[in-house]
């Protein structure tokens, strides 16, 4: 089996926390041969740690990746840059004949996401977006229950992405021009992706949104250390009420900093006419679980996974979300099949997020015409 040759645009936090270590476990199928970053040291370090002996480094400018795309031996490109450049780099890579995984969100706005979708259709290449939370055990269990009809008609949902004090203090996260926003586009995007996927509902009708910047001048007790209020340009919390074409309602909450006791991140509450489902635990640490609830036998019932564990020496076949994401993506490339996260789904997430920002800015309901 021919090994797939991977190139990377962006060698920062998400590359080192997720993509590099996950793909490094697939050495029988993957070779990391090219690394591009505007900071030379980051690309050089990544090439030395994860690359093949002859791995190439591309740096020096924001367009250095275009030289990398000229290499016909590269099969796959991962776009791991700030949100503002997702669309252009992805489109260039697709038109260069590369399969592409782009980190979430799909793009900084709906117009840029549509360019990516057009490039995907015209190029004939594969495109997926980095929504790794779909690959968690609790997400998979919830999805299967939804598809099996166990919840019935899901007419109300809550998409949770709330931290008490978890403002990222590295990279360009607080830079609105490069990221397009704060927690809504950063972590709210994960919760919304899960919600739409569980509901299998990708037709929004309208949205009413609010954003707040209330805690930027109070940087104490942040889990990542104090942030600089002078460079904190984005919202610290955002909320959206989304009405779907079929009448279903979704409430989305996203915050890097919010005064509440029980934070929930990348988790969903689902209410159907047969049953409900709610996610608990530290989902982003692969320590989440789902509780199903319903009325049965004249009583209210809750069902959650057993804590009994496995037989000694025969543990459960748990795979971390980042590893499961990488495995299915490589498998999709080899088999030339659609990956689990489809661009036609991811673009709706971007559309809704943009609608919440627009509604917050104008104070009006935003209607979706296309």
pLDDT digits (tens, 9 = 90+) for 224-257: 999 999 999 999 999 999 999 999 999 999 999 9
C-beta separation of 52 from 33 below 8 A? yes
Q: Which pLDDT band holds residue 14 (cuts at 50, 70, 90)?
A: very high
Q: Nearest CA to 212 among 350, 356, 352?
A: 356
Q: Which pLDDT band holds residue 293 (cuts at 50, 70, 90)?
A: very high
Give CA separation, 369 vs 3, 162, 245, 248, in Å: 44, 30, 11, 17
Q: Residue 101 above 80 pLDDT?
A: yes
Domain segments of the chain: what residues?
A: 4-131+323-343, 134-311+349-367
Phi, psi of 116 (to 5 degrees): -65, -40
Provide the token pair at 88: 């252009």
C-beta separation of 161 from 133 below 8 A? no
The residues, ordered by sequence, that sit 6+ positions from 94 with a Cβ below 8 Å of its Cβ are 100, 116, 119, 120, 122, 123, 125, 127
CA 190 to chain centre: 5
Q: Please provide the average confidence, as pLDDT, over all residues in the chain.
A: 95
CATH class of 4-131+323-343: alpha beta
C-beta separation of 180 from 113 below 8 A? no
Give the CATH H-level superfamily of domain 134-311+349-367: Dihydrodipicolinate Reductase; domain 2 (3.30.360.10)
Give CA separation, 302 vs 104, 267, 269, 273, in Å: 33, 18, 14, 15
Mean pLDDT of 219-225: 93
β-strands 237-244, 204-212 pairing: antiparallel
Q: Residue 125 above 50 pLDDT?
A: yes
- Which of helix, strand or coil describes residue 327? helix
């Amino acid at each position: 089996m021919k090994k797939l040759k991977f190139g990377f645009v962006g060698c920062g936090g998400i590359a080192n926390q997720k993509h590099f270590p996950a793909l490094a476990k697939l050495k029988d199928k993957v070779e990391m041969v090219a690394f591009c970053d505007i900071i030379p040291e980051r690309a050089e370090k990544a090439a030395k740690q994860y690359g093949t002996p002859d791995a190439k480094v591309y740096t020096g400018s924001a367009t250095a990746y275009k030289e990398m795309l000229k290499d016909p031996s590269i099969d796959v490109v991962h776009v791991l840059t700030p949100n503002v450049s997702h669309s252009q780099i992805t489109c260039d890579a697709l038109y260069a004949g590369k399969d592409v995984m782009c980190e979430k969100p799909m793009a900084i706005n709906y117009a840029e996401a549509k360019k990516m979708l057009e490039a995907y259709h015209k190029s004939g290449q594969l495109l997926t977006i980095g929504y790794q939370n779909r690959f968690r055990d609790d997400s998979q269990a919830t999805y299967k229950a939804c598809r099996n009809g166990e919840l019935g008609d899901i007419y109300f949902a809550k998409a949770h992405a709330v931290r008490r004090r978890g403002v990222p203090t590295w990279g360009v996260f607080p830079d609105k021009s490069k990221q397009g926003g704060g927690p809504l586009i950063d972590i709210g995007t994960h919760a919304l992706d899960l919600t739409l996927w569980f509901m299998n509902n990708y037709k929004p009708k309208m949205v009413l949104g609010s954003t707040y910047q209330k805690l930027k001048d109070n940087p104490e007790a942040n889990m990542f250390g104090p942030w600089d209020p002078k460079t904190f340009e984005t919202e610290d919390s955002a909320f959206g009420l989304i009405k779907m074409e079929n009448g279903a309602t979704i409430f989305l909450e996203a915050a890097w900093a919010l005064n509440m006791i029980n934070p929930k991140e990348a988790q969903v509450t689902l209410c159907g006419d047969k049953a409900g489902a709610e996610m608990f635990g530290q989902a982003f640490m692969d320590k989440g679980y789902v509780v199903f609830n319903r009325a049965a036998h004249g009583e209210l019932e809750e069902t959650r996974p057993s804590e009994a564990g496995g037989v000694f020496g025969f543990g459960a076949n748990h795979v971390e979300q980042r590893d499961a994401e990488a495995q299915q993506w490589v498998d999709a490339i080899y088999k030339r099949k659609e990956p689990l996260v489809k661009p036609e789904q991811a673009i709706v997430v971007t559309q809704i997020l943009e609608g919440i920002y627009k509604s917050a800015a104008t104070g009006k309901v935003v209607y979706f015409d296309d």
